[in-house]
Amino acid sequence: MSGGGAPAEVRVTLPAWVGEVVDWARPYPDDEARMRLAIALARENVERGTGGPFGAAVFEDGTGRLVSVGVNRVVPLHNCTLHAEMVAFMLAQAAAGSHTLGGDGRPAHALATSCDPCAMCLGATLWSGVRRVLCGATRDDAALLRFDEGPVFASSWTYLRRRGLAVRRGVLRDEAVRVFDRYRALGGAVYNG
């Protein structure tokens, strides 16, 4: 970068291990299978030291076809927006060749995320075009690690439902919380508290 200007490009990458962990060919037929993948991504991200304790995946809701995955990449890629959900949305929309996963002629999509989304990710969920959201751990669980999830209120969830998004929270919560426990035990960085 010469002349002090901002870079002209931002690159978002998944860790190399994702290809070892994710089975792209298999369908994920139910909410629990989808959440297990999101939690597995979060766990591997912690164990391999490639980011924070959060994982997400986007699926075609009817078929269970995996469309994209995301893990938290905030610290390694120096970008506060690279939460697992945001990465999964970016990659899903790139694969779809569209700024939205919703709309005419598109299959309904679901997001599985290992923790309730923060304020930024909850907003992006609305605009992403997904029709369903599955959450594992709660914002209170994240707060115990000192992660600040921002201004998300009971009314935020009500708003999403009124806009037509189905929301299921607490899916495999205990499994998701164990990833947080491991992150704490390893001394993982809290980068927004």
pLDDT in tens, 85-123: 999 999 999 999 999 999 888 999 999 999 999 999 999
- Asked about 47 being catalytic, the answer comes back as no
pTM of model > 0.85: yes
Which tens digits make up the pLDDT trace of 35-87?
999 999 999 999 999 999 999 999 999 999 999 999 999 999 999 999 999 99
Residue 3: per-residue pLDDT:
63
pLDDT tier, 19 (very low <50, low <70, confident <90, very high otherwise): very high
Residue 193: per-residue pLDDT:
55
H helices then E strands: how many in the chain?
A: 8, 5
Which tens digits make up the pLDDT trace of 135-146?
999 999 999 989
Give the single-character DSSP code of 185. H
Distance (Å, rounded) from C-alpha 157 to C-alpha 34? 21
Find the helix packing angle between 31-47 and 84-96, rounded to 10°: 120
Instruction: Determine which one of 20, 32, 44, 85 is catalytic.
Output: 85
Distance (Å, rounded) from C-alpha 193 to C-alpha 190? 6
Distance (Å, rounded) from C-alpha 21 to C-alpha 17? 7
Confirm if 135 and 115 have CB atoms less than 8 A apart: yes
Beta-carbon contacts of residue 101 (< 8 Å; ≥ 6 apart) = 58, 67, 89, 92, 93, 109, 128, 129, 130
- Report whether pLDDT(175) > 50: yes
Q: Which CATH superfamily is domain 24-183 in?
A: Cytidine Deaminase, domain 2 (3.40.140.10)
- Report whether pLDDT(153) > 90: yes
- Report whether pLDDT(171) > 60: yes
